[in-house]
Structure 1
């Protein structure tokens, strides 16, 4: 019994696993996960109020946009919690590595998938897969289709990241990451709340910009502003040319007066008299 206790202490202090296998799924772990979800979606509510009043989404459209993220984030999170317990070693570090890869490489895959769906929507006429566009009035069927597509993107992200995690060098990363934190509760708070909160806030904000629909009036206004800008530049250039032309006309008229033959004799006669 004493030998087992000494082995556990040695592993803990040597940078092995700090939190136990069920640390992510005990009461404290689930409390941190629920708190993280509430804080993360609070930033999306704040983002809606940061939108200009003329372009602010209705609560229904906002719910349609953000619920896709909610479903996808839940799938990714539950998959990370389950996968963290399948690796050997500290599950907190494995969860954090998965989370960081999902927030970097995964975001690139999400962006590519959304752009492909929007391209297919324009070329094939599949309006239901155009993310952020639900028809008038908003259709629940279009929202459900986009939810399924987004969850499918999350599955692709998780499969890609899991295959990438099979590389051998992640063992060295696992031994290094979070090794300075000896307290398992503090480590769990960093892994499940502190670090994910700031990264999720940025990721949710960016992904919401991918998913939300930009109205044609906004695009037309942007194009109109660019046309006005080009017109102003052209007007200034024409005005500058006109000014230069008027100055050259004045110089030419002065030269013509000097070279006028009728004025030359008069000038000479005046000199001789």
Structure 2
């Protein structure tokens, strides 16, 4: 058993110096890893909703509106990365990982700028439909659709920018060593399509969701002020209730003392006589 395992992990890379084959990202094992990653990422967003403070927790509809935009963008970026990885010369797993890491760092910065720009235009121009995270009362599907289109447009800008950045020559040197310690194609594919993306996506989805659920400062201040008043009212109510209980106890005790005194005097007189 150990001998077989050693042979698998120490085998030579496929011919041509490639760790992954050209179709490694789209074979059965590759698709299995991608579906598993998507399920884990979706679970992470559900967990994030339950981690939100109770008074700020979004309804399931608003949560769906927020996260579905991110889901559409993630699918578009992922499919583009899978396709682009096969267009470069060399190991497609390496190129996919480089694209993914750039999308999760430089791309996240571009997304942040784009969302904040849309929110600024929504406030200054009155274009409420493009104010990310705000859908009106009641929530409007039209606003959600407009924001979905904008977000996918941001993803396209991110992908074009990253693709142009990838044309620089030094990436050839990066791809030669980035996954060189992993000689086994299956293990490399698991790292590229599941293990590394899981931890990076968990952070990226969490941060991006905070961007997408952004509230305007005035509303945030109103919510904070209302919550503060509610807490003060609760404290005041508990204090009054405690005082009321204490006063009732004092009245009952004094009444008991008076009753005890009134009963004790005749008894004492009877004993004396």
Same fold, judged at TM 0.5 (above): yes
Match for residue 36 of structure 1?
37
CA contact (8 A) 2:119 2:131 kept: yes
Q: Does 1:179 align with 2:172?
A: no
Q: Does 1:218 align with 2:242?
A: no
Match for residue 165 of structure 1?
166
Q: Which runs of 5+ in 2 are unaligned?
A: 1-10, 229-273
How many angstroms apart in 1 are the aligned matches of 2:188 and 2:39?
20
CA spacing shift, 1:221–1:132, aligned 2, 3 Å: closer
Cα displacement (A) at 1:10 = 6.9
Cα displacement (A) at 1:218 = 3.0
TM-score with structure 2 setting the length: 0.76
CA contact (8 A) 1:13 1:182 kept: no
Match for residue 205 of structure 2?
204
Match for residue 117 of structure 1?
118
CA contact (8 A) 1:128 1:142 kept: yes
How many angstroms apart in 2 are the aligned matches of 1:107 and 1:187?
25
Cα displacement (A) at 1:13 = 8.3
How many angstroms apart in 2 are the aligned matches of 1:143 and 1:198?
28
Match for residue 130 of structure 2?
129
Q: What are the Cα deviations for residues 228-258 of structure 1, in whole angstroms up to 9, with x where unaligned?
A: xxxxxxxxxxxxxxxxxxxxxxxxxxxxxxx
CA contact (8 A) 2:13 2:183 kept: no
CA contact (8 A) 2:48 2:206 kept: yes
Match for residue 27 of structure 2?
26
Match for residue 147 of structure 1?
148
**Match of 1:134, SS?**
coil
Matched residues, number: 217
Q: Which runs of 5+ in 1 are unaligned?
A: 1-8, 227-273
How many angstroms apart in 2 are the aligned matches of 1:167 and 1:222?
48
Cα displacement (A) at 1:225 = 10
How many angstroms apart in 2 are the aligned matches of 1:78 and 1:63?
22
Cα displacement (A) at 1:44 = 0.6
CA contact (8 A) 2:132 2:212 kept: yes
Cα displacement (A) at 1:217 = 4.5
Match for residue 89 of structure 1?
90
TM-score with structure 1 setting the length: 0.76
CA contact (8 A) 1:109 1:157 kept: yes
Cα displacement (A) at 1:220 = 3.1
How many angstroms apart in 2 are the aligned matches of 1:64 and 1:11?
45
Match for residue 55 of structure 1?
56
Bigger Cα Rg: 1
